[in-house]
Structure 1
Amino acid sequence: MLTVLDAEMLVRQHLGDTPRANHSRVVAHMMRTLAPGFSASAELWEVVGLCHDLDYFHTSSNWSQHGLLTVRWLGDNIPAEAQDAIAAHDHRTGIQADTVLADMLKAADAIAIIDERLGRTTLCDSDGAEPYAALRRRLGDRSYLSDILQRYSERHGVPFDRMVEIISLAPGQ
């Protein structure tokens, strides 16, 4: 299986020193921190977070392939469940995966994009009573990110405050 060090080397190789590489590290931080709450492998979840966007620049002209190319590159170096999560993390592929790993990757990806778009301070200061509605208003044309975060966090019992706590400790973007 691919190690975290291997995955980090792949991030450097495919994403270089770009904001997308930083995004992948934030998603990896989220995944590693969430894994123990599901009795899952923190290392595997971190690898999935690091690798989920490896093909980002290669598929930017055809998002229906985003994640699928990464899965082909990684092959059997990651388990089938991890392959499915990466393949399904972007709805434009048409791939469905409803495992906890896949759902938490979607949630971690969404909150990392929200963090990048709105800034960590805004995210951390979201309205405590209706945080998802407040995010929806602020996100404008990307309000669906709040829906993704809410859907998968609530499905698996991860409160909004916990997601914000985890991302507040993530590397900057």
Structure 2
Amino acid sequence: MIPTREQAERLWRTYNDDVALWRHALAVEAAMRHFAGLFGEDPDLWGVVGLLHDIDYQRYPDQHCKVVRGLLQKEGIDELTIRAIESHGWGICTDVEPQSLLEKTLYAVDELTGFVTACALVRPSRSVMDLEVSSVKKKWKTAAFAAGVNRQVIEKGAERLGMPLDQLIQETILAMRKVAPAIGL
């Protein structure tokens, strides 16, 4: 079963209650919906994958992407969704390599939404509404800034999508603007 948005949210809340993690899930969902539209894909499916991508992280941080298959199979979730979620941790916590456009996009935008969030939060406005690619790229060069964000994963993700990094950043900012109030930005 491919869950509806409402089913996915209920499922997410079964395993999580952290506000910051919820905001991240919403940011990734928005990015996935946005990119689905750009690529002519199903925004509902892509959005659900984005929303659920870290479903196991709060309860099982040391087993992230390793227990998600069991959790989601138990709920009757389809293989396409499960594999996409597993693949976003490729080279970090799983060896499931992103193959499909859906998987490659999730891999590319997951870390990037976190970096864009960090960039927005240090602005006077604390918002993505006035954030530009140039500001993100300026922070990109400072290794100590958002040090937990793996820039190599983002770069590799852009490369796998065949998309210039600046374009990936721009489209992610635009996606996050669509949900700015919900993600606190």
Q: TM-score, normalised by structure 1?
A: 0.80
Q: In the aligned structure 2, how far is the partner of 1:55 from the partner of 1:14?
A: 7
Contact 1:132 1:150 in 2 (8 A): no
1:16: how far off?
2.0
What is the percent sequence identity of the aligned residues? 22
Structure 1 gaps, min length 5: none
Change (3 A) 1:155 1:121: farther
**More helix by proportion, 1 or 2?**
1
Aligned-CA RMSD value: 2.6
Query: Of 153, 173, 177, which residue of structure 2 is paired with 1:164?
Result: 173
Greater CA deviation, 50-59 or 159-168?
159-168
- Residue 140 of structure 1, CA deviation: 5.5
Distance 1:19 1:140 in 2: 15
Deviation of the 1:113 alpha carbon: 1.2
Q: Is structure 2 residue 165 aligned with structure 1 residue 152? A: no
1:28-39 maps to which residues of 2 (within 5 A)? 28-39=29-40
1:132: how far off? Answer: 4.1
Partner of 2:8: 7
Q: Which sits farther off after the overlay, 32-41 or 146-155? A: 146-155
- For normalisation by structure 2, the TM-score amounts to 0.76
- Residue pair 2:87, 2:95 contacting (<8 A) in 1 also: yes
**1:74 corresponds to:** 72
> Equivalents in 1 of 2:146, 2:20: separation in Å?
21
